[in-house]
């Protein structure tokens, strides 16, 4: 009986010792409840320079000159000389309206002009003869006066006839649709036999100057102070990837209140592998225009809670987050430059608006 009691005591002692050891090991490990409470977050480290794609601005190629051409007279198209895609020179006749009646009017006014010129010539000769006779006293003074008046009337009639002829000839020219500048025909809406009107003007052709091209883009206000007329900016055509350069020609004077951007126009310079086409989308790289702002520590704006230059970030340290005051400068839409309070090796929460506080346990998601 005593041996049974002794064995039971030994068993209890061994069991108790085993439980104590397991309890000690369990106390050294994080509780499952603590691991479950750790918040999954995304953490980032500051970039040491602005990537090219961050400083790229989307723009559009457009022609400096483009026009929709219509007739300066009303009539029927009798001849169309060009097709879509044709290159034309300034002054080229693109289409001709029916000019039958107009040519008759030109012939009539030309004949009237010839008659007026003949009458002026006769009146001038008469005046010269009358003056010679008057000098010798062989004609009365009123006869000389009448000859002078007759010559003036004939000169006025000749001038009137000349103006009428020029008007008729201008009307004839108005029956031609001509190119106002060198360019390419991009559309044609009418054919031979179609009726066209002067008022309201019927669109017949569209023309663009494919050589004089410019880029229109909206540049962020954070960069615009470094963009000056004459600044040369590299660009890439999207999606072909063809590279080209453009020289800034005009910088807008007004910042758009919604987008915080300024309109910039830049002339395409130099030769390209293939012709640029008006309407193409391009990406212009303004990293050089960013100047010194292109070097330093940079974070997405979402990672910083800031008002003006003062703000804070959540730094990840030993599985928890710590609030860190920083000073920042807005350099581009969506990005800030860290001026003070952070090093390049530290990791911060990618979203400063998360519902965390000092010491919150976090688990960084890979």
- Domain containing residue 262: CATH number: 2.40.30.170
Report the pLDDT value the prediction gives residue 295, as an integer from 0 to 100.
64
Report the pLDDT value the prediction gives residue 29, as an integer from 0 to 100.
36
* Within-domain flag for 9: no
Query: Residue 103 maps to which CATH number?
Result: 1.10.287
How far, in Å, are 122, 318, 355 from residue 129 at the CA level?
11, 121, 112
Say whether both 60 and 80 belong to one domain. no
Mean pLDDT calculated for residue range 221-231: 82
* Within-domain flag for 16: no
Mean pLDDT calculated for residue range 145-158: 94
60, β-bridge pairs: 216, 281
Instruction: Confirm whether pTM is higher than 0.75.
Output: no
Query: CA 184, 187, 188 angle in degrees (round to 5)?
Result: 115
- Number of domains making up the chain: 4
Say whether both 113 and 223 belong to one domain. no
Say whether both 221 and 194 belong to one domain. no
- Please report which confidence band the pLDDT of residue 275 belongs to, taking 50, 70 and 90 as the band edges: confident
The pLDDT mean for the chain works out to 85
* Within-domain flag for 12: no
Say whether both 70 and 190 belong to one domain. yes
Query: Residue 45 maps to which CATH number?
Result: 2.40.420.20
Q: Does the pLDDT at position 229 exceed 50?
A: yes
Query: Residue 70 maps to which CATH number?
Result: 2.40.50.100
Full 3-state SS string of 196-263: ECCCCCCCCEEEECCCCEEEEEEEEHHHHCCCCCCCEEEEEEECCCCEEEEEEEEECCCCCCCCCEEE
Say whether both 238 and 282 belong to one domain. yes
Query: Which residues span the domain enclosing 89?
Result: 65-98+175-208
Report the pLDDT value the prediction gives residue 4, as an integer from 0 to 100.
42
Say whether both 194 and 74 belong to one domain. yes
pLDDT digits (tens, 9 = 90+) for 35-83: 557 889 999 999 887 655 556 789 999 999 999 999 999 999 999 999 9
- Please report which confidence band the pLDDT of residue 227 belongs to, taking 50, 70 and 90 as the band edges: confident
Say whether both 85 and 201 belong to one domain. yes
Q: Does the pLDDT at position 309 exceed 80?
A: yes
Report the pLDDT value the prediction gives residue 137, as an integer from 0 to 100.
78
Q: Does the pLDDT at position 139 exceed 80?
A: no
Domain end call among 235, 254, 289: 289
CB 284 within 8 A of CB 266: yes
* Within-domain flag for 94: yes
Say whether both 265 and 359 belong to one domain. no
Mean pLDDT calculated for residue range 176-197: 95
Say whether both 119 and 236 belong to one domain. no
* Within-domain flag for 31: no
Say whether both 243 and 349 belong to one domain. no
Domain end call among 174, 198, 232: 174
């Amino acid at each position: 009986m005593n041996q049974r009691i002794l064995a039971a005591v030994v068993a209890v002692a061994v069991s108790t010792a085993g439980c104590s050891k397991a309890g000690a090991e369990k106390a050294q490990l994080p509780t499952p409840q603590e691991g479950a409470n750790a918040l999954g977050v995304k953490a980032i480290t500051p970039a040491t320079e602005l990537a090219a794609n961050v400083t790229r601005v989307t723009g559009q190629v457009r022609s400096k000159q483009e026009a929709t051409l219509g007739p300066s007279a009303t009539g029927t198209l009798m001849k169309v000389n060009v097709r879509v895609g044709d290159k034309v020179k300034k002054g080229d006749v693109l289409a001709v309206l029916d000019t039958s009646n107009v040519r008759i009017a030109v012939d009539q006014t030309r004949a009237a002009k010839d008659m007026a010129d003949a009458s002026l010539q006769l009146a001038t000769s008469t005046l010269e003869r009358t003056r010679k006779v008057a000098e010798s006293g062989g004609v009365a003074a009123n006869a000389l006066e009448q000859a002078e008046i007759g010559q003036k009337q004939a000169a006025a009639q000749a001038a009137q006839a000349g103006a009428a002829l020029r008007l008729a000839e201008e009307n004839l020219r108005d029956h031609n649709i001509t190119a106002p500048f060198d360019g390419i025909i991009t559309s044609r809406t009418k054919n031979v036999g179609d009726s066209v009107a002067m008022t309201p003007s019927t669109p017949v052709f569209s023309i663009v100057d494919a050589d004089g091209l410019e880029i229109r883009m909206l540049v962020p206000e954070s960069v615009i102070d470094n963009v000056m007329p004459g600044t040369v900016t590299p660009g890439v055509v999207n999606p072909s990837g063809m590279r080209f350069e453009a020289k800034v020609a005009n910088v807008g004077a007004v910042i758009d209140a919604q987008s915080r951007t300024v309109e910039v126009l830049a002339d395409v310079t130099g030769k390209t592998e293939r012709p640029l086409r008006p309407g193409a989308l391009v990406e212009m790289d303004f990293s050089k225009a960013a100047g010194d702002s292109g070097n330093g520590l940079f974070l997405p704006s979402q990672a910083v809670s800031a008002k003006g230059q003062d703000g804070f970030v959540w730094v990840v340290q030993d599985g928890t987050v710590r609030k860190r005051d920083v000073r920042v400068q807005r350099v581009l839409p969506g990005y800030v430059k860290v001026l003070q309070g952070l090093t390049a090796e530290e990791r911060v929460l990618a979203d400063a608006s998360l519902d965390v506080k000092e010491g919150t346990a976090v688990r960084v998601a890979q």
